[in-house]
């Protein structure tokens, strides 16, 4: 079946530091890949997505590239802000339309 392995947290960074959160996946067929973000006390919201190999998703300074050869979709941001503190989930959507999530990575950005 499908699975997503996500970098363990928590991750603590200083403001303006570079962020990478690793995500690898196992899936049959041609899944779409997503990063969702969960701010404290809220539901998940889509951060970015990529639907085919070599696609790059981007939003709010975050980027991730769909790498089929390494089955990866790592999240990056060049300069994090305190407001980026949240839990980040990598997910894939396969042929059955079911979303499969990673375990989540808690990010804390200190001023």
Partner 1 sequence: EAQVTQNPRYLITVTGKKLTVTCSQNMNHEYMSWYRQDPGLGLRQIYYSMNVEVTDKGDVPEGYKVSRKEKRNFPLILESPSPNQTSLYFCASSPNRGVETEAFFGQGTRLTVV
**Residues found near partner 1 in the complex (CB under 8 A):** 4, 6, 30-32, 34, 36, 41-46, 49, 51, 89, 93-95, 97-99, 101-104
Q: How far is the CB of 111 from partner 1 (least distance, A)?
A: 27
Closest CA to 5 of 76, 70, 59: 70
* Lookup: tokens for 107: 């990010």
For partner 1, the closer of residues 17 and 55 by Cβ is 55
Q: How far is the CB of 97 from partner 1 (least distance, A)?
A: 5
Q: How far is the CB of 104 from partner 1 (least distance, A)?
A: 5
For partner 1, the closer of residues 14 and 103 by Cβ is 103
For partner 1, the closer of residues 42 and 111 by Cβ is 42
Q: How far is the CB of 109 from partner 1 (least distance, A)?
A: 21
């Amino acid at each position: 079946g499908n699975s997503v392995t996500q970098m363990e947290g928590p991750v603590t960074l200083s403001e303006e530091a570079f962020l990478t959160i690793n995500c690898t996946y196992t899936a049959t067929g041609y899944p779409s890949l997503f990063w969702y973000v969960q701010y404290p006390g809220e539901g998940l919201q889509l951060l970015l997505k990529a639907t085919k190999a070599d696609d790059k998703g981007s939003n709010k300074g975050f980027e991730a590239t769909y790498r089929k050869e390494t089955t990866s979709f790592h999240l990056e941001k060049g300069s994090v802000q305190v407001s980026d503190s949240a839990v980040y989930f990598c997910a894939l959507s396969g042929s059955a339309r079911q979303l499969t999530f990673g375990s989540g990575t808690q990010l804390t950005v200190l001023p």
